[in-house]
Amino acid sequence: MSKMPKPQLIFVHGIGHPRDPEQELGAWRRALAGGARAAGFASEISALTMDWMADCSYAYYGDLFTDGESQGADAPDALDEEEAAIVLGLLAEFLDEEAARPENQGNRALARVRAQVLPGGQPQGAGAVGRHIAAVMTAVAAVPGVAQAARWATAADALRTWSQPARYLRRGNEDTEGRTLDARIQARVLDCLDPERPAVVVGHSLGSVVAFEALASYEGPVPLLVTIGSPIATSGFVWPRLRPRPPATPGCVDRWLDFWDNDDVVVPRRALADLVRPNGRGVTPTPQQFDSRMWWAHGATTYLERAEVAGPVMETLSTLSAMSADTTALGSAEVTAPAPS
């Protein structure tokens, strides 16, 4: 019998500007360390931050949305007709969710913008569609309460929120090898994973969609999958486009915790646990809901700083790092995460 190989901790980010992966990895790890302290794992923080407990990786794919282009890759005119339709559909669902919140009852500005998103007659031509989206995003960014809650200072901020998921779900933009954008993004996650070693995967926002789809083809052991601020259950334009279909927990996953803050404006109100089919071992997402009462609840580090999120991650990593097992048994994905105490 030999020691189990050192576990891995993989972070998968969501949308946003191009970023420095090393700086982001440090920020996410520090946030998790803060949550670990709150969860009673203060003695393990050094092992986490120094990579003694697990090798930490940040699966970065933000550059693939530009592929050397300027920031204009997120401009309205850069979207094709299908991507534009997905953007408008996602935005419409978001505004419907916001209109249903008690604090937005009677918000006339929100109602007016929602009516503009999908008018009865759609504009024709790429230029007209681009102008329509630009006008809608400008109006959305000006809605009192909603723009502040979503941290949209400009129309460009609002567009970026939906254009990147739309381009991913479009399944287009092939490279010279014929790989679509979504396949190239998923490859970044898989490149971080070693199938001979157990992994804890944490996916935030769009990154939860990416992690979910990437792990569908992964054969290494994943004792714990954590999704935070996930839009997977968005009914009209994310859920129907997920692959493979019907959506089911990846076979490699032993435990899936889905954390969502009731004040997170990006997360739909449908329970993911009611939608995703179990894998062969009966694993389905376990919902973990809380109310932060925060102005901005969607940030990845905001989630990781919470004891509810950090606790299971640290417990799983601590258990894995201490376990002894025959390495040949790892391929069967039989290493299970500990149940909550």
DSSP per residue, 79-99: S-HHHHHHHHHHHHHHHHHHH
Residues 223 and 264 in one domain: yes
**What mean pLDDT is predicted for residues 38-49?**
96
Confidence tier at 332 by pLDDT (50, 70, 90): very low
| Within-domain flag for 276 | yes
Predicted pLDDT at 134: 82
Model confidence at 124, pLDDT cuts 50, 70, 90, reads: low
Q: Assess if residue 340 is contained within a domain.
A: no
Residues 274 and 310 in one domain: yes
Q: Is the pLDDT of residue 34 over 90?
A: yes
Residue 156 resides in a domain: yes
Split at pLDDT 50, 70, 90, the class of 3 is: low
Residue 32 has pLDDT above 90, yes or no: yes
- Position 329 scores a pLDDT of 41
How high is the pLDDT of residue 129? 72
Q: Which pLDDT score, from 0 to 100, does residue 149 have?
A: 66
Share of residues in the chain with pLDDT > 90 (%): 53
Least confident interval from 32-46, 124-138, 151-165, 290-304 = 124-138
Instruction: Note whether residue 337 is domain-resident.
Output: no
Q: In this predicted model, what pLDDT tens digit does every residue of 153-201 receive, in sequence order?
A: 677 777 777 889 999 999 999 999 999 999 999 999 999 999 999 999 9
In CATH, what number is assigned to the domain containing residue 187?
Answer: 3.40.50
Same domain (yes/no): 268, 205: yes
321 and 215, same structural domain?
yes
Domain that holds residue 98: 72-170
pLDDT at 1 over 50: no
In whole angstroms, what is the distance from residue 299 CA to residue 229 CA? 8
Place of tokens 């419409």: 92
The CA distance from 215 to 183, in Å, is 12
Question: Are residues 53 and 79 located together in one domain of the fold?
Answer: no
The per-residue pLDDT of the chain, averaged, comes to 85
Residue 236 pLDDT > 80: no
Contact criterion met (CB below 8 Å) for 257 and 224: yes
Alpha-helix residue ranges (DSSP H) falling in the chain: 21-38, 45-49, 81-99, 108-117, 126-140, 146-150, 155-170, 181-192, 206-215, 300-304, 307-322
Rounded (5°) CA angle 99-83-227: 60
Q: Which of 77-91, 209-223, 225-239, 310-324 has the lowest mean pLDDT?
A: 77-91
Q: Which residue has the higher pLDDT, 102 or 253?
A: 253
Structural domain count of the chain: 2
Position 55 in a domain: yes
Q: Are residues 111 and 150 part of one domain?
A: yes
Report DSSP letters for 48-80, one per residue: HHTTSS-EEEEE--GGGGTTT--GGGGSGGGS-
Nearest to 283 by CA among 207, 337, 331, 219: 337
Banded pLDDT at 126 (limits 50, 70, 90): low
Quick check: 92 and 118 in contact, CB under 8 A? Answer: yes
Whether 285 has a pLDDT exceeding 80, the answer reads yes
- pLDDT per position as a tens digit, 51-98: 999 999 999 999 998 764 434 456 666 788 888 888 888 888 888 888
- Is cis: bond before 119, omega within 30 of 0? no
Asked if residue 192 belongs to a domain, the reply is yes
Plot region of 109 (φ>0 → left; ψ -120 to 50 → alpha; else → beta): alpha
Does residue 269 lie in a domain region? yes
Q: Say which amino acid occupies 219.
A: E
| Model confidence band, residue 8 (pLDDT cutoffs 50, 70, 90) | very high
Q: Are residues 45 and 120 in the same domain?
A: no
Separation CA 57–CA 9 (nearest Å): 6
Q: Are 263 and 211 within one domain?
A: yes
192 and 305 share one domain? yes
Q: pLDDT value at position 119? A: 61
Q: What is the pLDDT of residue 229?
A: 93
